[in-house]
Structure 1
Amino acid sequence: MTRDGTVPGAAGLHLVGGTALLRPQEQVAEAMLEGWRNQQLARNLALSTIEGRLNAVKAFTRHADAFPWDWAPQMVDEWLGDLRAVHHLKQSTLRNYAEAVRSFCAFLTDPAYGWAAECEKRFGTHPIQVCHEWNTAHHLQESEADPSKRAFTRAELQAFFDYADDQVHRVRGAGRKGWLPAFRDAALFKTAYAYGLRRRETRMLDLADFGPNPHAREFGAYGVCYVRWGKAMKGSPPKRRSVLTVGPREGIGGMDWIVDVLAQWIEEARPACAHAGSPALWPSERGPRIGFSQMNTRFASYRDAIGLDKGLDLHSFRRSYVTHLIEDGWDPRFVQEQVGHEHASTTSLYTCVSSDFRTRTLRKAMDATMRAALDTGRTKR
């Protein structure tokens, strides 16, 4: 709230009272959007979130061909119907668009901001809420991810990493300059899997984001990965967490091989990069940090080259990390902490255990039941 008692986004802060406007309708509509933007900034929402919402409202305004004080629910019906039937947008995207319009209308109709009174005074009408339960999609399921998205099988993961390594040897053997980016990408993909990282978390890693684990000194300087750009809660900064390097246990292989991968990249290959002076772990050929498009393009090219399922994407490394740790017998709570999930139910959504794991679990349970029955029989005799 400002010193004069007005709230961020209020009409009084964006329209000077008593001043004649040359283009009143256009100027008031623009002031409404600017006020809404300020209100969301005051709520500490991410700039990318605010920008996406503003773009959605502008798109609806263009489709409706009307100003906010003239909007009606039927316009929302037509807009969302067009986006679904003609443009084939996903339901989750449609719901986000509708939520942006609903939030904007809630802002305009809130008496605290004064926009309804301002419109009534200038245009003889006022904005209303046009998004309701009966004309927008509901969020009914805990997870609405594309069903084609899944984890790698272990064989697929090995094939992917082998192909990535082959590209480094092929390019370097041919005497071409592209071996460093190929080396970087191979190490990047392996790091994303070995620590169960999201795409942004992987991209934003710096050299300083690795350190020793005093309880596992065998991993040297790579015992812990400090994630500083974790997924944020609404209105909060990026969530930090530390991810421990997972070693072998009780005859089960771990992911300690990532220590050699990181050491080779950081100590041997990375110093030859053009932007080696950057703090970023993954510098690009033209800038201090690799971009999302580079990561996506290289991943897709490798996946398609070896004929893997289109449902595999960069996030599949994270799904695979959770799945494989659970299959190997790691405690679900430990896995939850490693990947930074607030709720165990979220971790369970990532778990795509293989049929082989289920078969072994079933066999183990049946064997235990059979042994108990035999022991009981011996006791009775």
Structure 2
Amino acid sequence: MRSVIEVGPGSVPVHLQGAVAVLNEEETVWEAMLSGWRAQQFARNLAPSTVDRRRELVTRFRVCADAYPWSWTVGAVDEFFLELRAVGGAAQSTILGYQGALRMFLEYVCDPRYGWVEQCWQRFGDHPAQVFHEWNTARHAQNGIAQPGKRPYTRDELQDLFDCADERVVRIRQKGSKGWVTAFRTATMMKAAYAWGLRRNEVRSLDLVDCASNPAARQFGDFGIIYVRFGKAMRGSPPKRRSVLSLPEMDWSTEIMRQWVEEVRPLIARPRASCLWPSERGGMITADAVSRAFNEVKREAGLDDELDFHSLRRSYVTHLLEDGYDAFFIQQQVGHEHASTTSIYTGVSPDYRARVVSDAIARMATTMIPTAAKD
């Protein structure tokens, strides 16, 4: 029989090429497939955490299907995702992510360059085939999937949130507790996320060197530009970088950041630490710690459950739109590849909509006056 030619990471390993007998053939070939896919993904520079999550998912699907990939069917797909939706209550975005990962695994094992199709046919008289098609999987209705309950803060809600965060700092400090420093950190992080439209991971990952002056707007001092180095990555790509300009509407934020960096941060930061928001242990604050601290403030402020940390970013987009900023400029500020993604974040207030209508009526009245005068 013709042996498989190894072409790179992910190919059938040498010890399986041809029809060499092995113990427990099915399990051996299955494990070799997983190892090969792992190598292929690492060759594409994917993160180990992403690779491990995908491996766990593929293994979970194999157990549910009670079959190996060369025997998978569309019926197994239906059963697996029916249980996820009906029993597990999985979200639409979760279903899309799972189906995408499983589809990619089958694309890998069905690719003739890796030799798995021929290997399975020689050993089992069957071969893997793609069972995830357009007609039996969920589809993206838009470039981003937003939960209906998620929305931006109104300006009053945002003020209530920030006031509550500031009051916590004062209250804790008056009690003589050192906890006021971490409360100040939480308040400043929240305001920074809103002032520059940052995601939770983007704001927590900032270093001191990511804050810089803007030669065209020196009034913002050392915080005229925020350099985001850990923006949300596209699938299979490294984190996206972008620079976010400070805006006149957010000029209050630069003084808050200066106070944090120069006066408060030194009380908690260890020598030579570079992270902008050091934890009590000295390293970068974790995402869970950010969420917990934020949720405490939000609950104390009495705000709705659907308002989360990401709603600060939604508010940034919405309020800039209401203030008359160009949509493309906003898109560049928040780092969206497509304008349609930015539009999902937008939730203009009733006051703004009423103002737009009033302005339109006023313009119509102005254009009609000359005509009426001629009559």
Same fold (TM over 0.5): yes
Question: What displacement does 1:276 show?
Answer: 5.2
Q: Deviations over 1:303-346 (max 9, x none)?
A: 22222111111111111001111111122222222112223222
* Paired AA for residue 186 in structure 2: D
* TM-score (structure 1 length as normaliser): 0.92
Q: Deviations over 1:71-114 (max 9, x none)?
A: 22211111111111111101221122122222211211221111
Q: State which of 260, 268, 272 in structure 1 corresponds to 2:263.
A: 268
Contact 2:152/2:311 (8 A) holds in 1 = yes
Identity, % of aligned positions: 52
Contact 2:317/2:346 (8 A) holds in 1 = yes
In the alignment, which residue of structure 2 is the partner of 1:221? 222
SS at match of 2:146: coil
SS at match of 1:180: helix
For structure 2, the residue ranges without an aligned partner over 5 or more in a row are: none
Measure, in 2, the Cα distance between the counterparts of 1:105 and 1:178.
Answer: 52
In the alignment, which residue of structure 1 is the partner of 2:138? 137
The 1:344–1:125 alpha-carbon spacing in structure 2 relative to 1, beyond 3 Å, is closer
Structure 1, 65-74 or 311-320: larger mean CA deviation:
65-74
Measure, in 2, the Cα distance between the counterparts of 1:209 and 1:30.
Answer: 44
SS at match of 1:128: coil
Question: What displacement does 1:294 show?
Answer: 0.5
For structure 1, the residue ranges without an aligned partner over 5 or more in a row are: 248-253
SS at match of 2:227: strand
The 1:7–1:44 alpha-carbon spacing in structure 2 relative to 1, beyond 3 Å, is same
In the alignment, which residue of structure 2 is the partner of 1:114? 115
Q: State which of 363, 370, 373 in structure 1 corresponds to 2:368.
A: 373
Question: What displacement does 1:290 show?
Answer: 0.4
Contact 2:151/2:311 (8 A) holds in 1 = yes
* Paired AA for residue 10 in structure 1: S
Measure, in 1, the Cα distance between the counterparts of 2:275 and 2:15.
Answer: 41
* TM-score (structure 2 length as normaliser): 0.93
Residue 308 (structure 2) pairs with residue 313 (structure 1): yes
SS at match of 2:228: strand
Measure, in 1, the Cα distance between the counterparts of 2:8 and 2:335.
Answer: 35
Contact 1:45/1:236 (8 A) holds in 2 = yes
Question: What displacement does 1:115 show?
Answer: 0.6
Q: Deviations over 1:47-88 (max 9, x none)?
A: 443333222111111222222222222111111111111111
Structure 1, 336-345 or 171-180: larger mean CA deviation:
336-345
The 1:235–1:13 alpha-carbon spacing in structure 2 relative to 1, beyond 3 Å, is farther
The within-5 A match list for 1:1-381 is 6-12=7-13, 15=16, 20-247=21-248, 254-275=249-270, 277-378=272-373, 380=374
What is the aligned residue count? 371
Q: Deviations over 1:185-206 (max 9, x none)?
A: 1111100000001111111100
Measure, in 2, the Cα distance between the counterparts of 1:100 and 1:113.
Answer: 18
